[in-house]
Structure 1
């Protein structure tokens, strides 16, 4: 389950990376001009850290964007599907851990290739719309996939059944 704080950090990082790349800046150049370490900037862009207000102010001034624009949770139009997914009830309730995924891994996928993830997410939303899939259908399909992934055998359940008998 993703927390609100995780979503805010990821959106901030996506926006920061997008602005940096639009201006043709390297991570080292932006970090140096905003008095940040390169590793800290990398952590921010990946959604792992959220900078303090003075660092955000420094970034907004150097990138020539409004502080409020940089800190809002609104993504540019071309990245809206990512924001929709991050804020959706589906992702909030989806048991990523059952599939061996941690929210940080999902964040890294999104942060490292936002355009590709955006296309992938848009495709999933379009398929869901065209086939009138509801959230329940998705969860049933996820459960079916999980069961197939384990060949319908769950060691812990077998052990509990043996202990019960």
Structure 2
């Protein structure tokens, strides 16, 4: 594969892309979804995941025990919706995000958070690589952008 033009070399690209067009293209090609899935997989393999599941299950059991007489007569779909609303009102999600943000290591892995999420981190480098490929494909008139696995 030929080298893609560097993002810092504006003279190498003949096509002017707007930030909105780039975002739309990233979405269309699924790059944001791939990054999101990678972060979620890291979370699922961490100790935070098990603790979160344990906490949310305990909260739901407590809610069901407290509201059992009323919930038993509700339609299953309505019961599920009510349980989800009760779970969303708990501070579990906010606390989890804050806890993950304060960690020195990204989601329980041995990779420091900055190495994964920072400006020079793994995800930023992958996004820059995809962006360079998109610009190269756009400037060469090639509609197919070479895929780059984000794992």
TM range (shorter): under 0.3
Greater share of helix residues, 1 or 2? 1
Superposition TM-score, scaled by structure 2 size: 0.27
Greater RCO, 1 or 2 (C-alpha within 8 Å, sep 6+): 2
